Structure 1
Amino acid sequence: MREHYEAFSKQDANHVPLSPLSFLERTATIFPDRTAVVYNNLQRTWSEVHTRVRRLASSLQKRGIGQGDTVSVLAANTPELFELHYAVPLTGAVLNTINIRLEPETVAYIFEHSDARLVIADTAFSGVVSKAFEINGKALPIVDIVDPEGPGGERIGEATYSDLIDTGDPAFAWQGPQDEWQALALNYTSGTSGRPKGVVYHHRGAYLMAMGTPVAWELPRHPVYLYTVPMFHCNGWCHAWTMTLMAGTIVCIRQVTGKAVFDLIGKLGITHLGGAPIVLSMLVNTPEEDRKPLSGPVKIMTAGAPPPAAVLAATKSLGFEVMQVYGLTETYGHVVQCLWREEWEDLSADEQAELQSWQGVGFPMTETVDVVNRETGASVPWDGETQGEIVIRGNTVMKGYYKNAEATDEAMSGGSFKSGDAAVRHSNGYVQIRDRLKDVIISGGENISSVEVEGVLHRHPDVVLAAVVALPDETWGEVPCAFVELKEGSTVTEETLIEFCRQHMAGFKRPKKIVFTELPKTATGKIQKFVLRQDARAMTENSS
Structure 2
Amino acid sequence: MLIGEDKKPFKYRRLRVLEISFFYQVVVALAPNVPALFELHFGVPMAGAVISALNTRLDASTLALALEQLEAKLIFVDYQFTDAVLKALDLLSQKKVNPPHLVVIPECDKSSSMDHKHIASDLDYNCLLEMGRDDFRIIRPNNECDPISVNYTSGSTGKPKGVVYSHRAAYLNSLAEIFRFDMRQMPVFLWTVDMFRCNGWCLTWAMAALGGTNICLRNVSAEIIFDAVSLHKVTHFCGPPAILNTIANAPARASSQSPFPCSVNVVVAGSLPSSEILTKVEGLGFNVYHGYGMTEALGPATIRPWKPESDSTFETEQEEIRRREGLHNLLLEGVDVKDPKTMESVPNDGKTIGEVMFRGNILMSGYLKSTEITQETLKGGWFHTGDLGVRHPNGYLQMKDRAKDIIISGGEAISTLEVEAVLLGHPKVSEAAVVGQPDALLSEVPCAFVKLKEGFGASAEEIIQFCGDQLPDLMIPRTIVFGELPVNFSGKVQKFAMRETISWFGFPLLDYAAWHISTRA
TM-score by length of 2: 0.88
* Correspondence for 1:145: 105
* Partners of 2:319 and 2:418 within 8 A in 1: no
Moved more, 259-268 or 518-527: 518-527
Alpha-carbon RMSD across the aligned residues, in angstroms, is 2.7
1:366-445 to structure 2, matched below 5 A, reads 366-445=332-411
* Correspondence for 2:84: 128
Which one of 218, 224, 227 corresponds to residue 263 of structure 1? 227
Q: Secondary structure at the match of 2:52?
A: strand
In structure 2, the gaps of 5 or more residues are 511-516
Q: 1:447 to 1:269 in 2, by over 3 A?
A: same
**What is the rounded CA distance, in whole Å, between the counterparts of 1:314 and 1:349 in structure 2?**
19
* Correspondence for 2:513: none
Q: How far off is 1:374 after superposition?
A: 1.8
* Correspondence for 1:229: 193
* Correspondence for 2:59: 103
**What is the rounded CA distance, in whole Å, between the counterparts of 2:492 and 2:222 in structure 1?**
17
Q: 1:391 to 1:308 in 2, by over 3 A?
A: farther
Q: 1:258 to 1:535 in 2, by over 3 A?
A: farther
Q: 1:476 to 1:352 in 2, by over 3 A?
A: closer
Q: Secondary structure at the match of 2:477?
A: coil
Deviation string 1:330-364 (CA, Å, 9 cap, x unpaired) is: 111111222689x9953589647843541221111
Structure in which a larger fraction of residues adopt helix = 1
Provide the identity percentage: 38
Q: How far off is 1:247 after superposition?
A: 1.5
The code of the aligned residue for 1:142 comes to L
Q: 1:278 to 1:149 in 2, by over 3 A?
A: farther
**What is the rounded CA distance, in whole Å, between the counterparts of 1:426 and 1:344 in structure 2?**
21
* Correspondence for 2:205: 241
The code of the aligned residue for 2:374 comes to T
1:91 aligned onto 2:57:
no
* Partners of 2:148 and 2:165 within 8 A in 1: yes
* Partners of 1:326 and 1:335 within 8 A in 2: yes
* Partners of 2:319 and 2:421 within 8 A in 1: no
Q: How far off is 1:43 after superposition?
A: 1.2
1:6-405 to structure 2, matched below 5 A, reads 35-45=1-11, 48-49=12-13, 51=14, 53=15, 55=16, 57=17, 59=18, 61=19, 64-137=20-93, 138=97, 139-148=99-108, 154-156=114-116, 158-193=122-157, 195-292=159-256, 293-295=258-260, 296-305=262-271, 309=275, 311-338=277-304, 345-347=311-313, 351=317, 354-355=320-321, 357-405=323-371
**What is the rounded CA distance, in whole Å, between the counterparts of 1:415 and 1:349 in structure 2?**
33
In structure 1, the gaps of 5 or more residues are 1-34
Q: Secondary structure at the match of 2:400?
A: strand
Deviation string 1:100-130 (CA, Å, 9 cap, x unpaired) is: 1112222111111111111111122222212
Q: How far off is 1:491 after superposition?
A: 3.0
Q: How far off is 1:160 after superposition?
A: 0.8
Q: How far off is 1:372 after superposition?
A: 0.4
Q: 1:449 to 1:291 in 2, by over 3 A?
A: same
* Partners of 1:309 and 1:455 within 8 A in 2: no
1:451 aligned onto 2:411:
no
* Correspondence for 1:483: 449
Q: Secondary structure at the match of 1:109?
A: helix
**What is the rounded CA distance, in whole Å, between the counterparts of 2:316 and 2:230 in structure 1?**
28
Q: Secondary structure at the match of 1:438?
A: coil
1:531 aligned onto 2:491:
no
Q: 1:308 to 1:478 in 2, by over 3 A?
A: farther
* Partners of 1:279 and 1:525 within 8 A in 2: no
* Partners of 1:66 and 1:91 within 8 A in 2: no
* Correspondence for 1:469: 435
* Partners of 1:75 and 1:121 within 8 A in 2: yes
* Partners of 1:264 and 1:270 within 8 A in 2: yes
Q: 1:527 to 1:376 in 2, by over 3 A?
A: same
**What is the rounded CA distance, in whole Å, between the counterparts of 2:429 and 2:402 in structure 1?**
22
Q: 1:348 to 1:193 in 2, by over 3 A?
A: closer
Q: How far off is 1:279 after superposition?
A: 1.5
Deviation string 1:359-393 (CA, Å, 9 cap, x unpaired) is: 22111111111000122111011111111111111
* Partners of 1:389 and 1:422 within 8 A in 2: yes
**What is the rounded CA distance, in whole Å, between the counterparts of 2:173 and 2:498 in structure 1?**
33
* Partners of 2:267 and 2:288 within 8 A in 1: yes
* Partners of 1:233 and 1:524 within 8 A in 2: no
